[in-house]
């Protein structure tokens, strides 16, 4: 029977979940539906792309589209995850075919850029993906934190107080938009614990540790002032009786980084994930609409080989490869990109990269 590349049907849904579970040799009482409730939801079925041969699912790529909001940048992002080919069918180009189908689907539903997290970047690089974006990771040990001065009480959050988290998260400068039901689904993922700092002013900080089989011992979503984040981390260590916790977050939270550096803790910069341009025209428009108000008067013209960046002030076009363009605009760890004079030189490179981040809770 011919190979079919298409969204999973309702009848195949259980078989798909069993197929994806095959790679996990742990004895978790939960499965992919519990761990990724917004991905493996019936409303998202059209975004679960399968390769089916002789009635058997042999490969899968999952997607979810989200709206990213920053202070200037707004993007429709396609997130990709749960990429798997059955061991017997590897090396036949199935994952490549599904990734191409996924890119077409994301284009149709209006995504400008796609993002994924992986431990095998080489596979995705072959398919035109680029490592880019920035985050920091900071291992905080109990001994480094001030004993006194916790400005409040840290508690494990109970579901009746989820709206406190919603209110705090919605003040975040960089975030993916979530419906109320989506917060509930994400905060309820097994293995996920949310902590809140209650102060005299009410709840002022929260943090999320763990998520399904991911992010163990890692605070991967949090907010609050720098002092409140220190208090939150201290409280999390006390409640969990752990010696260390890893804080990951956006480099734009310079205040938090400096606060921990004063405690003699050193953040490690890292890339955020892997990216692929889905709709070059629309992406260029979105980027220009935040570059211009930031005093970066560039026209971007994306084509198959690269990007032509034309500075409206110098009038000179400059060609960049796709990888360099994404890294210039979205960053790469803490690497600094030296801008050629044709594009405005150092004073403009100071204003880049554009603030961009996706919290761990949204990852798929
Ligand atoms: C990674 C995986 C999805 C690849 O599936 P596949 O159907 O065999 O991939 P394809 O046959 O389409 O391979 C496409 C290309 O990627 C290469 N490739 C495959 N696996 C790779 C890997 N782990 N690292 C680097 N390149 C890889 C192939 O050699 C091929 O290159 P070519 O076109 O130059 O020959 C499959 O090995 C798998 O399911 N692994 C376990 C789950 C996993 O790691 N998923 C990714 C999590 S982010």
- pLDDT tens digits along 140-151: 999 999 876 667
Give the CATH number of the domain where residue 80 resides.
3.40.630.30
Query: Pocket of ligand 1, candidates 99, 120, 363: which has the most ligand atoms within 8 Å of its Cβ, to mutate?
Result: 120
Determine contact, residues 363/117, Cβ cutoff 8 Å. Answer: yes
Are residues 143 and 124 located together in one domain of the fold? no
Per DSSP, 91 falls in state T
Enter the pTM of the model: 0.95
Are residues 94 and 107 located together in one domain of the fold? yes
The pLDDT score that the predictor gives to residue 312 is 86
Are residues 22 and 142 located together in one domain of the fold? no
Residues 232, 238, 241, 243: what is their CA dihedral angle, to the nearest 10 degrees?
Answer: 70
231 Cβ below 6 A of ligand 1: no
Rounded to an integer, the average pLDDT of 277-299 is 94
Last residue of a domain, one of 131, 159, 178: 131
Determine contact, residues 338/349, Cβ cutoff 8 Å. Answer: yes
Residues 39, 45, 51, 57: what is their CA dihedral angle, to the nearest 10 degrees?
Answer: 80
192 Cβ below 6 A of ligand 1: no
Helices (H), the chain: 13-21, 32-35, 94-108, 121-126, 162-169, 180-187, 226-240, 254-262, 280-291, 322-330, 346-349
Determine contact, residues 250/271, Cβ cutoff 8 Å. Answer: no
178 pLDDT above the threshold of 70: yes
Last residue of a domain, one of 101, 131, 161: 131
Q: What is the mean pLDDT of the chain?
A: 94
The pLDDT score that the predictor gives to residue 13 is 97
More confident residue, 313 or 37: 37
Rounded to an integer, the average pLDDT of 27-54 is 95
The pLDDT score that the predictor gives to residue 316 is 84
Question: Of 21-25, 146-150, 215-219, 356-360, which range is least confident?
Answer: 146-150
Domain count, the chain: 3
Rounded to an integer, the average pLDDT of 338-346 is 83
**85 CA distance to ligand 1 middle (Å):** 8
Question: How much of the chain exceeds pLDDT 90, in percent?
Answer: 87
The pLDDT score that the predictor gives to residue 222 is 98
The minimum-distance atom of ligand 1 relative to the CA of 91 is 11
Which pLDDT band, with edges at 50, 70 and 90, does 1 fall under?
low
If you search the block for the tokens 């400068």, which residue do you land on? 173
If you search the block for the tokens 């705090």, which residue do you land on? 168
105 Cβ below 6 A of ligand 1: no
79 pLDDT above the threshold of 90: yes
Question: How much of the chain exceeds pLDDT 70, in percent?
Answer: 99
Containing domain of residue 88, as a range? 4-131
Q: Would you state the structure tokens that stand for residue 247, as one six-digit string?
A: 């804080």
Question: Of 12-16, 26-30, 279-283, which range is least confident?
Answer: 26-30
The pLDDT score that the predictor gives to residue 150 is 66
For residue 33, how many other CB atoms are within 10 A of its CB? Answer: 16
Are residues 179 and 210 located together in one domain of the fold? yes
H or E element that contains 114:
strand 113-116
Are residues 213 and 264 located together in one domain of the fold? yes
Q: Would you state the structure tokens that stand for residue 186, as one six-digit string?
A: 């994400």
CA R_g for the chain: 22
The pLDDT score that the predictor gives to residue 73 is 94
207 pLDDT above the threshold of 80: yes
Q: Which residue, judged by its Cα, is nearest atom 16 of ligand 1?
A: 123
pLDDT digits (tens, 9 = 90+) for 117-133: 999 999 999 999 999 99
| Cβ burial, residue 91 (10 Å; 0-12/13-18/19+) | exposed
Are residues 216 and 173 located together in one domain of the fold? yes
59 Cβ below 6 A of ligand 1: yes
**180 CA distance to ligand 1 middle (Å):** 36
Are residues 113 and 230 located together in one domain of the fold? no
85 Cβ below 6 A of ligand 1: yes
Are residues 146 and 255 located together in one domain of the fold? yes
Are residues 236 and 127 located together in one domain of the fold? no
If you search the block for the tokens 């990888």, which residue do you land on? 323
Last residue of a domain, one of 96, 131, 166: 131
What is the sign of the dihedral through the CA atoms of 256, 116, 184 and 17?
Answer: negative
259 Cβ below 6 A of ligand 1: no
The pLDDT score that the predictor gives to residue 313 is 84
| Cβ burial, residue 297 (10 Å; 0-12/13-18/19+) | middle
Rounded to an integer, the average pLDDT of 209-227 is 96
Determine contact, residues 215/247, Cβ cutoff 8 Å. Answer: no
Query: Pocket of ligand 1, candidates 95, 102, 118, 124: which has the most ligand atoms within 8 Å of its Cβ, to mutate?
Result: 95
**91 CA distance to ligand 1 middle (Å):** 7
Pairing type for strands 175-176 and 153-156 reads unpaired
Are residues 290 and 191 located together in one domain of the fold? no
Are residues 239 and 266 located together in one domain of the fold? yes
The pLDDT score that the predictor gives to residue 349 is 85
Are residues 142 and 229 located together in one domain of the fold? yes
pLDDT digits (tens, 9 = 90+) for 147-169: 766 679 999 999 899 999 999 99
Rounded to an integer, the average pLDDT of 217-238 is 96
Strands in 306-311's sheet, in edge-to-edge order, are 298-302, 306-311, 317-321
Which pLDDT band, with edges at 50, 70 and 90, does 19 fall under?
very high
């Amino acid at each position: 029977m011919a190979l079919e590349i298409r969204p999973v049907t309702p009848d195949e849904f259980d078989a798909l979940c069993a197929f994806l579970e095959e790679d996990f040799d742990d004895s978790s009482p939960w499965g992919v539906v519990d761990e990724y409730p917004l991905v493996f939801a019936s409303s998202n079925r059209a975004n679960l792309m399968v390769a089916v041969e002789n009635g058997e699912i042999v490969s899968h790529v999952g997607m979810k589209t989200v709206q990213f909001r920053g202070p200037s940048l707004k993007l429709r992002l396609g997130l990709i995850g749960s990429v798997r080919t059955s061991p017997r069918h590897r090396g036949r180009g199935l994952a490549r075919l599904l990734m191409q189908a996924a890119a077409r689907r994301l284009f149709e539903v209006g995504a400008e850029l796609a993002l994924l997290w992986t431990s095998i970047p080489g596979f995705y690089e072959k398919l035109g993906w680029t490592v880019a974006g920035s985050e920091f990771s900071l291992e905080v040990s109990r001994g480094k934190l001030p004993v006194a001065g916790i400005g409040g009480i840290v508690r494990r959050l109970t579901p009746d107080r989820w709206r406190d988290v919603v209110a705090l998260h919605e003040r975040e400068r960089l975030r993916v938009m979530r419906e109320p039901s989506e917060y509930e689904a994400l905060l309820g993922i097994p293995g996920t614990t949310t902590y809140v700092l209650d102060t005299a002013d009410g709840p002022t900080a929260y943090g999320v540790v763990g998520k399904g089989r991911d992010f163990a011992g890692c605070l991967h979503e949090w907010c609050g002032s720098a002092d409140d984040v220190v208090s939150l981390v201290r409280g999390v260590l006390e409640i969990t009786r752990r010696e260390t916790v890893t804080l990951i977050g956006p480099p734009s939270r310079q205040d938090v980084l400096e606060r921990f550096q004063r405690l003699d803790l050193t953040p490690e910069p890292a890339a955020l994930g892997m990216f692929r341009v889905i709709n070059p025209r629309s992406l260029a428009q979105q980027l220009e609409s935040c570059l211009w108000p930031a005093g970066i008067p560039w026209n971007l013209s994306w084509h198959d080989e690269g990007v032509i960046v034309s500075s409206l002030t110098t009038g000179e076009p400059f060609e960049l490869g796709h990888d360099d363009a994404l890294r210039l605009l979205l960053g790469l760890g803490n690497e600094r990109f030296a801008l050629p004079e044709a594009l405005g030189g150092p004073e403009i490179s100071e204003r880049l990269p554009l603030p961009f981040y996706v919290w761990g809770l949204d990852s798929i």
